[in-house]
Amino acid sequence: MIRLLVSVRDAEEALLAARGGADFIDLKEPGQGALGGLPVGAIGTIVAALRGAGCRLPVSATIGDIALGEGDEILRRVAAVAACGVNVVKVGIPREDGAAALLERLAACGHPVIPVFIADRGLDPATLAHALGLGFPGVMADTADKSAGCLFDAVSVLALSRFVTRARTAGTMVGLAGALRLKHLPRLAGLAPDFAGFRSALCAGARDGRLEPALLAGLVQALREVQAPSERASPSSSERMRASSPL
């Protein structure tokens, strides 16, 4: 069963997503790029609002789009975001020299991190294999330039299938995101990642607009319907996720 990750920018959107059927709440500032980070104070406020409302859904947060070479700043930001009470911190990993070294530092930082592989220039199997050997609770593929199209425009279905399969074989949770829309749900269902991230499809205008409850309700229903045949054929998938998810 693919679980739904919804990216939100404030407490109002977070509560809307939680009540509207999201499985993960992801905190980011969409106006600041693919992994735009919210101020640490805002992250803490959103987490407090969710927990105060009785929401126990897992919460992730991004650290912002920080250059790969700024390792010390990345680790400082990871620690600050983790201290806000989120379940996991997302860090972008572009396809550049130095990715392996940063992954090693992140794996040893003492905080739960999900590397987000930026797929605009494709996905590097060697870097993924290195990450999968470092014990991260999950991995994800996403795109940076949302104006250039969606994840399926940047990466072939075959390459994404290999990405998902390699992560699953390693026992690591795997997610896909990147300007995904309802029309992409059949391809997502075929790939069967553990979770899929959405923002653009849930805003009436640009992705930095407000989340629309009706669009969220439509996505939740469509995701449920597109998976119904495979869920009947393989009822153990959701059970496996409940057992293995660190979030």
| Cα gap 238→189, rounded to integer Å | 13
- Find the domain containing 203 and state its range: 3-178+193-244
Would you say residue 114 lies in a domain?
yes
**Which of 18, 12, 21, 30 lies closest to 203, judged by CA?**
30
**Is 146 domain-assigned?**
yes
| pLDDT score of 236 | 38
Provide the annotated active-site residues: 28, 90
The pLDDT assigned to 231 comes to 55
3-state secondary structure of 138: strand
Is the residue at 229 inside a domain? Answer: yes
Establish if 186 belongs to a structural domain. Answer: no
Let me know if residue 227 belongs to a domain: yes
Does 188 fall in a domain? no
The tokens for 22 are 């999201």
pTM score, two decimals? 0.91
For residues 100 and 124, is the Cβ–Cβ distance under 8 A? Answer: no
Helices 125-132/157-169 angle, 10° precision? 20
Rounded CA-CA distance 12/15 in Å is 5
Domain with 146 in it: what CATH number? 3.20.20.380
Contact criterion met (CB below 8 Å) for 138 and 246: yes
- For residue 24, being part of any structural domain is answered with yes
State the total domains in the chain.
1
Closest CA to 178 of 207, 212, 217: 207
Q: CA-to-CA distance for 3 and 12, rounded, in angstroms?
A: 21
pLDDT tens sequence for the chain (247 residues): 999 999 999 999 999 999 999 999 999 999 887 789 999 999 999 999 999 999 999 999 999 999 999 999 999 999 999 999 999 999 999 999 999 999 999 999 999 999 999 999 999 999 999 999 999 999 999 999 888 899 999 999 999 999 999 999 999 999 999 999 999 999 999 999 999 999 999 998 888 889 999 999 999 999 999 997 655 444 333 343 333 444 5
Model pLDDT, residue 237: 38
Asked whether residue 207 is domain-assigned, the answer is yes
The amino acid sitting at 33 is G
Residue 39: the pLDDT is 97
pLDDT at 186: 96
Residues 6+ apart with CB under 8 A from 42: 10, 27
